[in-house]
Every structure is written in structure tokens, then in C-alpha cells.
Amino acid sequence: MVKFLKILLLLVSLFFFSASVSYSLPLSTNGRWVVDAPTGDRVKLRCVNWASHMQTMLAEGLDKKPLPDIVKSMSSLGFNCVRFTWATYMFTKPSNGNLTVDESFKRLGLLEAKAGIALNNPGLLKLTVLEAYEVVVDELGKQGIMVILDNHVSKPQWCCGDGDDNGFFGDKFFDPKEWLQGLAIVANRFKGKPQVVAMSMRNELRGPHQNKDVWYRYVRLGGETIHKLNPKLLVIISGLGYDTDLSFLRNVTLRTNFGNKLVYEGHWYAFTDGRRKDWVNKTPDQICAITMKEFDDKLEFVTLGKNPIPLFLSEFGVDQRGLNDGDNRFLSCFLAYASEKDLDWAMWALQGSYYIKNDVANFDETYGVLDKNWDQPRNPKFRERYRLIEDILQDPRSNLPRDQIIYHPLSGHCLLVDDKNSSNTQASDCLNRSHWSYAGNQTQVKLTGTSKCLKVEGNGLPVTVSDDCSSVWKVIADSNIRLATTDKEGRSLCLDYDLSKSSVVLSNECLCADDESSNCKENPETQWFKLIETNVK
């Protein structure tokens, strides 16, 4: 009878999850892409990180809003999956996992947060923290959100730092045997839940003890542990240096026995490699080019070559208030890169607040997509800014010819010609965008399906489309995120779009584009336009 009930529950969960998504699951890989295993169709992971690894061991925000409302907000913001964090000790130490939610909050003195849970999610208080974790996973599945279970730390706490003793195999709070035990427990516990599509075996390996030989030994064991107990899952593996470096795989590949389930992951922030000040002190073109190349060399290369593997950018993020100049410039560069590579990604983070962080209750998370009260996005134009990276831009099964989208990452807008009989161009939400054909430097930019070309009328004037195809274009600057042409006076003019002024795209003299650009103090972001190749209409 018990076996029958388990099968019935599995069938019911499969029905509800399948009814709410456009793919059938489980997931697999095909070359550099994540795909739906039964059909082979590409599935793009557009995820958000949701923390449940902190001291309370409860998904953040359940004191602010009912669980179904929080999950519903994810879909409305464009996310189709959650990287849901957990701490090893939640599952390996009964003194943690057997705590009720009520007990967990009482021991930390979080009485106000506990009262909020009693108001918004009263049924959780008597559950153990593990049962509550599973309730959240079930609600995500019910609403059609895929789940990646991310082993974030061992000891429940904020991550990460070189000296937190949570960073690498053998650290005080990172016993490899206990870690493998935790992976086994989690892989087995969530086996019957189709919404759980992957396990990320450890977040941001780091610290003074990190070692390549040890990495090869334990990530192989970790992957084999997950795959043996739950072979349907993708196995997501991080590198070294806070998840920023897989370059050692160029010399020695990781030999695995879990076939088309392997995915690598990487992280990228403005502060990666200590570069936060560079985004303000160096010219944006220069620092964007430098960090793009570093990402290519250390991480993105795994998607290339004879045996490409998918790369999941499992963390990136910025101050969502828009108050940090370095973050703002980084984001424009990142969006151009992520669109060009059509990466799978997970944003840090959903949570607008933490129950407790740095000994401060109700801690405000400025990188949170939601505001501190979990009412609405911090950035009112959030969806518009990130629209293009939500879409599948490269489909490995498409037979359509490749053309380009002209993308302005500072605004998140795309170049559009509303009416093919019109000469007017504008930048607008990438829900609506024109496609273009560009053969390379010093060639025309043609409007796909017409004989018209992108044409400069003069400095400071709107760019048009015309039967006059005399304007030839080239990609300029170190970052390759600008389109320029030369006017009759021999001036180098760039596409330029300032959303605060109008939706009209102008041609203005190119900023910081000469040999002395490294000393230029002007910010050329309004002139950042990226040609994004696509074979999807």
C-alpha cells in the first residue's frame, strides 16, 4: 500500500509539473546546450538564486509573503528555474535537520521573523527545516519552476570568504566524506520530483587549500554519487577561485561516467578578481574587453572544441537600485556578452532581505530582485532590462539562416523598424525587434527581408533605413560593442541612444575610440550596440 501511494504521488506530481511547462523533462545535454531529453529541444535555464543555506536553514522571505505568492513572482519576472541553496549539515546532522522552523528561529532570537512566518506561512512552523525545504521544492514544481539543488556551504552561514573554513575539501567545516554523504541523501530524497532537474555539487570552491589534484578526485566522486542515485539529474560542477576558473581543464579533462549529464558552472560579478574599482577607474570599453577575455579563457572555452560541454553561469548580479556605478557598467558589458554567447544563467538573487546576516536581523539585500518587503522588483524596469537574455537566440535544431539583432545593453532595448515601408528606426523593448544582415567590417547593415540598409544622415541626426546603401559599418573599440561608420566629413560616427531623452537612435561622434582611448574620461555606454547572432525568429 505504501509503495502504491508513493507511485500515485509521483504520477500526480508529474502531471501537475508537465501541465505547467512547455517541455517534458528530464534534462540532458547535446554538445554545449542543455536540452529536453525526450525531444532533444533546447531548454534555456534562466534562473534566480534563492537562499536557504543560512543560519535559519529556511528559504528566505517566508516571513514576508505566502510561499505561493513568492513562487508566482518568479514566473512574472521571467524566471523558469531556481538555484535553491542548501547546507550539508542540514541533511547530515540531525541536530540541524530535526529542528522545527519554530525552534530554529527561537534559538536565533528572530521572534519578529517568526511572527511573520506565523502570519504568512503558519503551516511551516511545526515542520522540521528539512520538511519545510521540501515543501518549497514542491510548490516550485506545482507552479512549473525547475529546481537546481545547490550545495552552497557545509555549516549553515553566509558564503563566502577565504577564511570561513567552508571553502575547500578538508577545511574545518568541509569534510569530504560528510559532503559525499550529504550529496547522496539529497540526490535520493528528491529522486521522485521531476521539477528537480539538476544538482550543483558545491558552490565557490576557494581558499588557501584549493588544489587541482584534490579537485579532480572529489568532484569525480561527487558526480558519480549523484548520478548513481539519481541518473536523471544534470550534474553541475564548479571550478576553483570562487567558481571563476576552469582553465586547468585545458590540460587535463575530467573523466566522468555520467555521459550527457555534465554541466560546468561559473560566476561573474563586477568584483570578480578584485576588479570592482576598475569598472569606475578604467574606461568601460577597456575593462569590458579585459573581463570578457578572462571569462573566455577561464570558463567559456569549455563550450568549444571537439567535446563541448554546457556552461551554466550560476551567479551574476548587481545592486538592483542602480546606485553603484561599477555594477551599472559591468551589467551593460555582461548583458552584451551573455546575449552573444546565449548563456544559461542564474541571477543573484531573489531575496530582498535575509532573516539574519552579519548578526543583523531583517538584513537588506541590495542585489535582491525583490525589494526588502518582497512586494515588487527593486528595479521597476527589471523585465525590460533583462529581456533579451531570457530568449533562446541560438537553436541547435534550427534550419533558419543566421542574422543579427542590434542590441543596446544599457537600456536592454533592440533596434526596431516598425514598418518596412518606413525609414524611421527606434530602440524599444526587445519583445519587438528587427533582424539585420551584416557580412563584416566595412559592409552594409541590411534590414532582413528588404533591400534597405541602415544609413547615417549626419552627426547628431537620427539613423534611418534607406534604399541608399552607401553607409558601411565596422565594429570598433576593444570591447567590440560599438557600430561605427564615417560621414562625408570623415568623422567616425557611432550609433548612440539615450533612453532618458527619446526612443530615437542617433549617430554621434564616437567617444573614446581613438588611440588615446585608455585615457578617456567619458563614458561611452550610450554608444554600446552589440550585433547578436541568431537563428530564431
Q: What mean pLDDT do residues 82-98 have?
A: 98
What's the CA angle centered on 327, arms 322 and 329, to 5 degrees?
95
Distance between alpha carbon 45 and the CA centroid of its chain, in Å?
8
pLDDT at position 17: 54
In angstroms, rounded to a whole number, what is the distance separating the alpha carbons of residues 494 and 476? 9
Segment 23-71, tens digit of pLDDT: 679 999 999 999 999 999 999 999 999 999 999 999 999 999 999 999 9
What's the CA angle centered on 46, arms 425 and 141, to 5 degrees?
135
Identify whether the C-beta of residue 291 lies closer than 8 Å to the C-beta of residue 275. yes
With b for 16 or more beta-carbon neighbours within 10 A and e for fewer, the 154-188 pattern comes to bbbbbbbeeebbbbbbebebbbbebbbebbbbbbe
Nearest Cα residue to 506 out of 515, 517, 495: 495
DSSP label of 383 = H
Segment 193-249, tens digit of pLDDT: 999 999 999 999 999 999 999 999 999 999 999 999 999 999 999 999 999 999 999
In angstroms, rounded to a whole number, what is the distance separating the alpha carbons of residues 409 and 332? 5
pLDDT at position 501: 83
- Report CA Rg, the chain: 24
Q: What mean pLDDT do residues 509-519 have?
A: 74
Confidence of residue 419 (pLDDT cuts 50, 70, 90): confident
pLDDT at position 275: 93
Nearest Cα residue to 497 out of 430, 412, 417: 412
pLDDT at position 22: 61
The helix (run of H) or strand (run of E) holding residue 139 is helix 129-142
As its CATH architecture, domain 27-390 has Alpha-Beta Barrel (3.20)
- Long-range contacts for 322-326 (Cβ within 8 Å, ≥24 apart)? 322/379, 324/270, 325/279, 325/280, 326/270, 326/276, 326/277, 326/278, 326/279, 326/280
Identify whether the C-beta of residue 85 lies closer than 8 Å to the C-beta of residue 50. yes
Identify whether the C-beta of residue 295 lies closer than 8 Å to the C-beta of residue 266. yes
501's grid cell = 531623452
Q: How many CB atoms lie within 10 A of CB 4?
A: 8
Hey, what CATH topology would domain 403-513+521-534 get?
A: Trefoil (Acidic Fibroblast Growth Factor, subunit A) (2.80.10)
Q: How many CB atoms lie within 10 A of CB 3?
A: 7
pLDDT greater than 90 at residue 382: yes
pLDDT greater than 80 at residue 13: no
**Global confidence as pTM:** 0.95
Mean pLDDT of the chain: 94
Residue identified by cell 512547455 is 22
- Give me the phi and psi of 235, to 5 degrees please: -110, 115
Residue 327 makes CB contacts below 8 A (sequence gap 6+) with: 270, 279, 318, 319
Confidence of residue 418 (pLDDT cuts 50, 70, 90): confident
pLDDT at position 513: 78
Q: What mean pLDDT do residues 505-512 have?
A: 94
pLDDT at position 489: 87
Residue identified by cell 514544481 is 141
479's grid cell = 570591447
**Complete DSSP assignment for 201-238:** --S---STT--HHHHHHHHHHHHHHHHHH-TTSEEEE-
Nearest Cα residue to 353 out of 65, 46, 47, 78: 65
pLDDT at position 11: 47
pLDDT at position 2: 39
- Give counts: helices (H), strands (E), the chain: 14, 25
Confidence of residue 515 (pLDDT cuts 50, 70, 90): low
Identify whether the C-beta of residue 456 lies closer than 8 Å to the C-beta of residue 485. yes
pLDDT greater than 90 at residue 16: no
In angstroms, rounded to a whole number, what is the distance separating the alpha carbons of residues 331 and 377? 17
Domain ranges of the chain: 27-390, 403-513+521-534
